[in-house]
Amino acid sequence: MLSPMLPVTLSVPATVDAAGGGLPVAPRLISEFGAAGAGPGLLIHAYGAALDANGDVFATDVATSTVDEYDSSARFVRSFGGAGTLNSPRGITVAPSGDVVVADTGDDRVDVFDGVGTFVRSFGALGVAECEGAPGPM
């Protein structure tokens, strides 16, 4: 059984402070939200998170194979994916078009959903294929 990995934590990445002589600046916590459990707005094993242009947060849950969306105020909006659509989603990003792109690791592919969670398409497959210009086996 997977242990809860909560809350969802958003932070500003580490940077270099040019005014401070180029010294590193530690990441800064922006927001923390979420609760452990199964059900709307609850996460069992949060793995990846991404922000869209409106500040909405999309978080993958490996245990439930879903993506949960929270608005910019951290209120739960919707969940999508689930068994039959996603299988152990991990990485996630939001494209400039608003499409949500998910690394569906259990199905060895990348799945694309529109901004409201409707499945659009998938691509990729298990294995390593040689292609023109590829360096070959490593």
Q: Where are the domains of the chain?
A: 38-123
| Residue spans of the chain under pLDDT 50 | 1-6, 131-138
Classify residue 36 by its DSSP letter: B
Nearest CA to 34 among 1, 4, 56?
4
CATH number of 38-123: 2.40.10.500
Q: Which two tokens stand for residue 37?
A: 């459990």
> For the stretch 70-103, what's the b/e string if a residue is b when 16 or more beta carbons lie within 10 angstroms of its beta carbon?
beeebeeeebbbeeebbbbbeebebeeeeebbbb
pLDDT of residue 19: 62
pLDDT score recorded for residue 130: 55
Q: What's the pLDDT at 3? A: 42
Q: pLDDT tens digit string along 74-100?
A: 899 999 998 889 999 999 999 999 999
Instruction: For residues 97 and 62, give the distance between their C-alpha atoms in angstroms, rounded to a whole number.
Output: 25
Of the candidates 106, 12, 2, which has an alpha carbon nearest to the alpha carbon of residue 51?
Answer: 12
Spatial distance between the Cα atoms of 94 and 76, rounded to a whole number of angstroms? 17
